[in-house]
Homo-oligomer: A and B are copies of this chain.
Amino acid sequence: MTLPTLSDIKAAHKRIKPFIHRTPVLTSQQLNRIFDCRLFFKCENFQKVGAFKFRGATNAVMSLNKSQKKNGVVTHSSGNHAAALALAASMNDTKAFIVMPENAPSVKKDAVAGYGAIITFCKPTLESRERTCRSIMEKEGATLVHPYDNFNVICGQGTASLELLEDHNDLDIIVAPIGGGGLMSGTSTCAKEIREKITVIGAEPLNANDAWKSFRTGVLTPSVNPLTIADGLLTSLSELTFSIIRRNVDDIFTAKEESIISSMMMVWQRMKIIIEPSSATVLAVIKENPDFFRGKNVGLIISGGNVDLKKLPF
């Protein structure tokens, strides 16, 4: 198992730079006062397709060799990764085959179709998704781009914190959400190599605390029927992301649902930006652990801003 390094992340950044947005790092005097620390929000909600996922997907597509590029990429996802891979493929003149459960919300189907992907519907079970995916790989010769269990995807996700640390080289702590661990793997690899003294914290919903359990016990423990509003953080770590996280992450903090919702609302109200519940989880762990963060310079990876405005929790 080859683990990515800072130089892989830098190479990824050089590769994808012309295609991605360099997202802004926002600050809020009000929130700094409330939490008694200095917060630096790396706003991937302003990234293309509204999420950091576009970084990893673009790096994966651009790392294909010629014959792979001819046959396209495939993934099973109904979320931000599907949209990201679809757009990355279309911007690089290759095909994206997206396997989606037939019961996916039509807004997500439309988004992926709008980026020109070829959608195949399957039953809403992991078994059906994986089987459909494999059959497309065999039939089309398409390359699988897993949402997080993928070296190139992880390197792409790490470029968000590369930019954040370029802009602010005095961070004491960096916090990113943990779902499957792709973003956290890239973030922690990048941060620890650039700044050995930095403390790297993962943020996870209490109701989907598989990474927290795995980290505490040292045994990879998958998520079982997680129920959280942070719908980007339902997935479980893979062997690859768990290895990286064990090595580079200092601790994982969990957040209660009500903290996630109130943190999301606080950012909407005070900063006037739309962040999704998964992103609010990073602020929620600061809210729940004020002593840990007090007086520090804290970088937060805001993972995305894709929210169904018709189904808000407040």
Select from chain B the residue with minimum beta-carbon distance to A265. Answer: B309
Q: Is A273 an interface residue (CB 8 A)?
A: yes
Contact B272 A309 (CB under 8 A): no
Report the minimal beta-carbon distance from A115 to chain B, rounded to whole angstroms. Answer: 12
Decide if A269 is an interface residue (CB 8 Å cutoff). yes
Residue in A272, A273, A312, A314 with the greatest tally of chain B CB atoms within 10 Å: A272
| Chain A binding surface, main DSSP class | loop
A292 within 8 A of B: no
Q: Are A309 and B312 in contact (CB-based, < 8 A)?
A: yes
**Is B305 a contact partner of A314 (Cβ separation < 8 A)?**
no
Minimum CB–CB distance for A237 against chain B, Å? 28
Give 1 or 0 for each of A248-282: 1 = CB within 8 Å of chain B CB: 00000000000000000100110011110000000
Residues of B with C-beta under 8 A to A312: 309, 312
* A54 within 8 A of partner (CB): no
Q: How far apart are the CA atoms of A225 and B305 in the complex, in Å?
A: 37
Tell me which residues across on chain B come within 8 A of A97, comparing CB atoms: none
**Given the complex, which residues of B lie within 8 Å of A24, measured CB to CB?**
24
- Report copies per complex: 2
Query: Among B268, B275, B309, B314, which residue has its beta carbon within 8 angstroms of that of A269?
Result: B309
A272 touches B50 (CB 8 A): yes
Chain B nearest CB: distance from A166 CB in Å? Answer: 19
A310 at the interface (CB under 8 A from B): yes
Q: Is A46 an interface residue (CB 8 A)?
A: yes
Q: Does A45 contact B (CB under 8 A)?
A: yes
Residues in B neighbouring A274, C-beta threshold 8 A: 268, 272-274
Bound CA–CA A305/B273 (angstroms): 9
Q: Which of chain B's residues have a CB closer than 8 A to the CB of A314?
A: 309-310
Closest to A274 in B: B272
Q: Which chain B residue shows the least CB distance to A45?
A: B272
19 sampled A-B residue pairs with Cβ under 8 A: A24-B24, A45-B272, A46-B272, A50-B272, A265-B309, A268-B274, A268-B309, A269-B309, A272-B273, A272-B274, A272-B275, A272-B305, A273-B273, A273-B274, A274-B274, A309-B312, A309-B314, A310-B314, A312-B312
The 5 closest A-B pairs by CB, nearest first: A272-B305, A272-B274, A45-B272, A309-B314, A273-B273
